[in-house]
Chains A and B, each alone.
Chain A
Amino acid sequence: MTEAAANVQPIASTETAVPKPDTPGRLEISREHGLRLLHEMLRIRRFEEKCAELYSAGKIRGFLHLYIGEEAVAVGAMQALGREDAVVATYREHGHALARGVAVDRLMAEMYGKHQGCSRGRGGSMHVFDAQARFYGGNAIVGGGLPIAVGLALADKMQQRPRVTACFFGDGAVAEGEFHESLNLASLWKLPVLFLCENNLYAMGTRLERAQSQTDLAAKARSYLMPAEPVDGMDVLAVEAATKRAADAVRRGEGPAFLEFRTYRFRAHSMFDAELYRDKSEVEIWKQRDPITTFTSQLKERGMATDGILYALNMSVADEIDVAVQFAEAGTWEPVDDLLKDVYTPAEGRPSGSYGAA
């Protein structure tokens, strides 16, 4: 390891060089809730493993950014949100979409570019949208989603709706001007935004300390006078607990909050990445903290899961993914005649013009 070793550490193990599991049983959860969290994480993991396979088979094209390793963040954070809340995500957003409740079959169809996809095939992997889930994308411009989240929160505040807008972004976005503009404005106007930074240590291939003068990202947020804390992003329960605390405060009208989830992606940045920028050993160290295996162990230790239950869980997820692939395969291509659709709202969607123009 290099001089960077200190920063590799997940938050829960600052005292040692090698990350190790957090003490189990910190959060009291029901068996049902525990299994649900595991199920959510497994769905994301299996969905993306299937995507990687389908990508190699040429079924999925374009850019494909996998979330594998970071599942605890999306699954834990979504526990704090209600149906009325909004989510703005990044281009690595399959996990957020699934955890938020976007239908897995429609998501897979979107990966294919089929007409039955959740964005009618127009967006693909990086542009998942779902009005029902109040899921406002899939934004492939780093930092581009933050101002939109600020605006969604502004609309809620102006209409006195006790909602939260959760905005996911990575450590790379922290270097963008829009990060600072958005945190400043949200804090200035006390807007109900939950800024959720997924610090996986790399902006594509650029490690955090090679891009940031201040690597304590929560410190940046605090400078805009909002509560901010680092969280162990490999621990689903820690993520859930921290996000609930923050979301409650935001919902109470205390203004925005910031959480830095320290996490790690196990796969390459995208499908075409030789990973020249990091050692395999570093990846192996982080894999010891795989959020799914560690949480599975916790559940077993607490007697909440047995091998039989885990087998059944895995089987049901595998079936669900298979069905989703069949749905995507059976999907149809949008007719080329419809190419120009949805650039503008069609006439029938427009209000009747009170100006009375022809």
Chain B
Amino acid sequence: MPSLGADMEAGTLVEWLKHPGDGVTRGDIIAVVDTAKGAIEIEVFEDGTIESVHVKPGEKVPVGTVLALIRGTGPERPGHPPGHPSAAAALRTPPAAPMPNAPAVAPAAPAAPSPAQAAAREQPGRVRVSPLARKLAADLGVDLTHMTGTGAQAAITREDVERAAAALKTPAPQPPAPPPDRSTAMRATIAAAMARSKREIPHYYLSTTIDISVALAWLRKENEKRPITQRLLPAALLIKTVALALRDVPELNGYWIDGGFRKGAGIHIGSAISLRGGGLVAPALHDADTLDLTTLMRQLQDLVARARTGSLRSSELADPTITVTNLGEQGVESTFGIIYPPQVALVGFGKIMERPWIGSGKIEARPLLTATLSADHRASDGHRGGVFLTAIDRLLQTPERL
């Protein structure tokens, strides 16, 4: 069961799209898994043949559980008898995605991980609970499955359990708990991730107001040339701008893991999409800096559509290297977001509004946009954040080069 996010602990297999004996190639969708965030297609990262499947539809298994074994097509590794499925081909978390399997992984010791930590990484599904917390949870009837630990090595501690127990108690006459639906589960996972972010990430916030008249003018002209289906929205322009600006300030693009910054393997922009039933997801536009605006726009539309029907791909959920949130549609002027751990930055765009603007010594009405940056002070400093926002401004003044 791949880990698709910091807050994912388990998933339910919905169906197998490939079966034992079927050949698969890298990128194929072989199964659908239901998570708190909706049904997600599971892709494979190996070429080969499905040897066996180990989880039945309807079964809920923790992250890290082997779902299927794929016999690789490449040369057998030494030590693997012919025909024996190679361990490397066992379906598991995409190795390229450095998303930590929190809370099972301790982002603690910087240098060499202790044997215990290494072991913990090998079994990401195991929830760490201190003996005291486990006993207390049993006594108080607290369910530990969806809890995020705050203790040593991210284990659930006595305090975590006590907090959860207090939360259970507050609504005095409690009606029989309704079966947890997806939106409440999603609420819980968002709550856990955001609480963890606020607790662990020392945020700093920067804001700048950008004159977007040149960009909008260019967009208008560009869209006149395009068929309706291929018209560009400002959002695509902004995402591309962010992607390019990140090339200048790479320390905002990546993850804070195990006490250190890890640069993202590419620039994968998570685009915050609010869902109709409540909640939100931020699937990734992969390598956004390399996409032309047309492709980027198409992919964005596709992503929004699939997010709302609940059919995102695992890699899209697992590996954004930064998040962009655009609350302009809701009429918000500016937004100071909470970073989605283990990412280290979040870019917010507000509503484009006509405002007085002093340019060349006189006051004019111009379309203005407030761009904000929430960034992790462990990974970057305000100065670099400023460079980043300035780069966005600069890039938006030459939209034809985007």
Is A–B contact present in the complex under a CB 8 A cutoff?
no
